Structure 1
Amino acid sequence: MTLPGNRPSWLTFDCYGTLIQWDEGLLAAMDRILSAKGGDIDQPAFIATYDRHEHALEEERPHRSFKGVSAIALERAMGEFGLAFTPDDAEILTSSIGRMPPFPEVVETLGRLKAAGFRLAIISNTDDAIIAGNVAQLGGHVDRVITAEQAGAYKPTTQIFHHAWKQLGIGMNDLVHICASPHLDLAAARRLGFRTVWVDRSTGRKPLSDYSADAVVPDLEKVPGVLAAAGWM
């Protein structure tokens, strides 16, 4: 697939699942929380329940911090599984997120993209304090970080993307967005029309039935090749 349009000035990225090992880190955090509760818990089913509550809470108004969203989602999920919740459980989860590492190829690839003249930004459904630990692991290559806390809204709403573009001082055609989440980032692209590269890391997340990304790659290492094919590197 060849990306359409002119060379973008910015490449924007989803963070968790795209740059940072979210699924692996979430499983480790949940294992720590659930193992202390005893019993045999189906972790994939539990995480799916947590995700359902998290996404529902992110759509509610007034806007909640991600720290607040994750705590309520965890409490509700634990309630569905008959587990007693304590504030310490939420602290284990939120404190673990900033320590989640990047995928092995990410830092080197971001460096290649930066050296090619692109400016790099993250647009993420999180709080500033939480993502700071993740960004610190990205080799100093990221120019800007836009969070749901700053925008007062979560993806896939158009509000967070419009806020990000205003902060970056660019229009929709001045960027390509690189992401792993079909139902957050690609859903927003379907609505707004910005160019996308979907990083399909074979996690089982399904593409949208009525939208196709402009390019699909299995990991971030393949992104420079896609940009080179478009004549941009």
Structure 2
Amino acid sequence: MNYLIGLVEDDMNIQNIVSAYLRKEGYQVEILNSAEEAMEIWKQNPPDMWILDIMLPGMDGYELCKKIRSESEVPIIIISAKDDEIDKILGLELGGDDYLTKPFSPRELVARVKRLFKRTSLSHQPAWMDGDRLSVDELVIFKSDRRVFWQGTEYEVTTKEFDMLYFLAENINRAFSREDLLMKIWGNDYFGSDRAVDDLIKRIRKKFTDIPIETVWGYGYRMRNEEE
């Protein structure tokens, strides 16, 4: 597929280098100097992925990322000279899928672009065997019977363990914050700490040895497809 990437960056040198590497890999690249230009392109011809700088004239990259994510699940890579941990966490919380600190290797950026496109493609194909069965790698879940098999063995699970496994498997490779998981699994009426999410994930990992649930440091969790 000939993907279109929107590169929102006001530094001409970075524009030229990054776009050259991406085009060499067969991607189309739309270079945009500001978030405002990006908003116009978004309405006319939405890219398949965004690469956003944070420090932009006018609207900054964080705000643009937030606006895009509020209406679309399109992949977003944030690039920034800000390397503080809080900046990275903020970028992920606003909807960024990856965060790369300047100066960076163009080859590394291309590798991350490829990986993210692959992840996104896999996440849209969760490997349904039929209307009741969801399988991801060696995990098989039967929704109506609430039965869970891991590496060919059936496991007894609690209600919350089943709900968490099913939700993460249904949204394979997508990261969720602890707050998102708390609301999804426990509901809007739960007033406890998000520590409940950590405790539940800990129990699942203990029960299902080597299950590919990853910690997104400072943010939350995702289930990774082992086939990547």
The TM tier, using the shorter chain, reads 0.3 to 0.5
**What's the TM-score once normalised by structure 1's chain length?**
0.32
**What's the TM-score once normalised by structure 2's chain length?**
0.32
Q: Which has the larger radius of gyration?
A: 2
Q: Which has the higher strand share?
A: 2
Q: Which has the higher helix share?
A: 1
